Structure 1
Amino acid sequence: MKKIKLYTAGLLVMILANACKKNLDTYTGQNNIYFNEAGRLPAFNGEVIRDSTVMSFSLAKNTDSVVNMIIKITGAVSDQDRSYKLVIDPVSTAIPGKHFDALPQTFSIKKNKLQDTVKIKFHRTADLQAQNYTLFFKLVANENFSTEMVDKLINATTGQRLSFIRYRWFLNDIVKKPGRWTDGYLGVFTRKKLSLLAQVLNVEPSYLDTSVSIAEITAYGKFMQRYLNEQKAAGNTIYEEDGSEMIMGSLVQ
């Protein structure tokens, strides 16, 4: 029995020794480049991965916004910077220098890195209130990276595909009524009223879309009606864009 144990132990040592001599397999495919937002895994169950983003200022207080667009690659890191080609599709309608800051002429994956972050600064211009503008990007193959990871089918019925090498931004400031806006307390929704409420109460308009409670909505309505009454008593009646006097909801009168 002792001899069997010694033989088995010796056999295991030989197997381990041979395994250590073998080189580990490394990635040998092409270095593909793609938009991370389209190629990443879902962050939670049921999340829909997209190759586009709507950049809307409608529920924002700020006049511009900086967003990150992450570019990733497959393959191993390099000890040198590697340039990649990112171009704006000429069908885009957003104007550089007006709707967004002009981007750098060159882009690169830095040494020892597998991704790059492109920062886009969008501007809230008056014309965004009337129409949507678009900013479409495309990754193009060069001497460092291929674009063979093109897309994947996500709906066999409609033929819809998710692109890994094209990404679209839709830009607007078209007014949107917050999801939790309650007319009984806040009155008829208008862009001017939302802006004034955000200013007076120091509340982010986006907070009214998903997070605000009924108790808060009630308090907001009462406070704003008192504010409007005080302004009127001081000879500074606040009017809506159509010339009508601004009032809050019937439940706070």
Structure 2
Amino acid sequence: MKRKLYIYIAIVAVHNLFEGCKEDTLPLFEGDNYVQFSRPLNDSLTCTFLDVPDTSHRMFPISVDLIGIPSTQDRNLEIQVIPEVTTAQAKHYEVPKQLILGANKVRDTIWIKVNNTPDLKDSPVKIVYQIKETDAFKVGERNYSMGVLYFTNKISQPIWWRGTVQSSFLGTYSDKKYALFIKLTNRVDIDPNNLTELTELTLILKNHLREMKNEGNTVYENDGTEMTVNLIGG
């Protein structure tokens, strides 16, 4: 008798659990379409011409995501620059008047034109931008609805040149080493989690330093110490 009672109670509990789940389940977007940036606000972007110093401008990509149902047609979206917290001037950039989320896409790329102005060598400037609601799209999650893009041509330690990159690959940072790295690899940024690429790029610098030393032209840091990397092997 007790066994039957326990089974009955278990059945009722499971039934109530599923009924509760039904009541708590909400539509993901209730028929509306939302657009947001692929990176959160605290994950800022940097555009530089250090790898292409003779270029007058470049088109910088910003990724956007659709939260909703893809359309079979292109749809216009809008972003607006927030002037109160933007330090860049009109000479530094241009946001196209027409931005597109492509047909059948849930992720697309919009492009901002960035100009290579002489003052970028002195100090960085930034634009802070946000998604603007339109007839086609509402604004997505708050932390992904805004972004920051820095423009700079000033040599300085990048965020990724820390931790494992410094201790096991490129070694202690210096402006001189970074400038040489850019010259040899034509790369300004590295994904520190892509160890294969990180190894390949570090080896380019390591092999160059070794060749220069073998030729009697050892590369030195500004403090007189020999320039080295920490990558073992290669």
TM-score by length of structure 1 reads: 0.53
State the structure with more CA Rg: 1
- 1:51–1:166 contact (8 Å) kept in structure 2: no
Structure with the bigger percentage of helix: 2
Is it true that 1:95 corresponds to 2:89 in the alignment?
yes
**1:73 counterpart letter in structure 2:** L
RMSD of aligned Cα (Å):
4.2
Deviations 1:126-171 (A, max 9, x none): 2112111001211111222112x333xxxxxxxxxxx211011012
* Long gaps (5+) in structure 1: 1-24, 39-48, 152-162, 229-245
- 1:133–1:170 contact (8 Å) kept in structure 2: yes
**1:94 counterpart letter in structure 2:** A
- 1:61–1:205 contact (8 Å) kept in structure 2: no
- 1:221–1:249 contact (8 Å) kept in structure 2: no
Q: How many residues align?
A: 177
- Poorly superposed stretches of 4+, deviation over 4 Å: 188-191, 205-210, 221-224, 246-252
Deviations 1:40-61 (A, max 9, x none): xxxxxxxxx9542123445x24
* Partner Cα distance (2:134, 2:176) in 1: 50
Is it true that 1:150 corresponds to 2:152 in the alignment?
no
* Partner Cα distance (2:89, 2:115) in 1: 10
Where do residues 47-196 of structure 1 align in structure 2 (5 Å cutoff)? 50-58=42-50, 60-62=51-53, 63=55, 64-90=57-83, 91-96=85-90, 98-100=91-93, 102-147=94-139, 149-151=140-142, 163-176=143-156, 180=170, 190=176, 194=179
* Partner Cα distance (2:102, 2:187) in 1: 38
* Partner Cα distance (2:73, 2:30) in 1: 18
Distance of aligned partners of 1:219 and 1:72 in 2 relative to their CA distance in 1, 3 Å threshold: same
SS in structure 2 opposite 1:113? coil
State the shift of 1:172 in Å.
Answer: 1.2
* Partner Cα distance (1:247, 1:77) in 2: 55
1:34 match: 36
- 2:65–2:108 contact (8 Å) kept in structure 1: yes
Distance of aligned partners of 1:129 and 1:142 in 2 relative to their CA distance in 1, 3 Å threshold: same
SS in structure 2 opposite 1:212? helix
* Partner Cα distance (1:131, 1:26) in 2: 44
2:202 match: 212
Distance of aligned partners of 1:93 and 1:189 in 2 relative to their CA distance in 1, 3 Å threshold: closer
Distance of aligned partners of 1:72 and 1:215 in 2 relative to their CA distance in 1, 3 Å threshold: closer
* Partner Cα distance (2:67, 2:147) in 1: 18
Q: Which moved more, 1:85-94 or 1:210-219?
A: 210-219
Distance of aligned partners of 1:173 and 1:204 in 2 relative to their CA distance in 1, 3 Å threshold: same
- 1:71–1:116 contact (8 Å) kept in structure 2: yes
Deviations 1:195-241 (A, max 9, x none): 6x93xxx5536599963344542323555838x9xxxxxxxxxxxxx
1:41 match: none
Identity over aligned pairs, percent: 18
Distance of aligned partners of 1:219 and 1:247 in 2 relative to their CA distance in 1, 3 Å threshold: farther
Distance of aligned partners of 1:182 and 1:150 in 2 relative to their CA distance in 1, 3 Å threshold: closer
- 1:78–1:111 contact (8 Å) kept in structure 2: yes
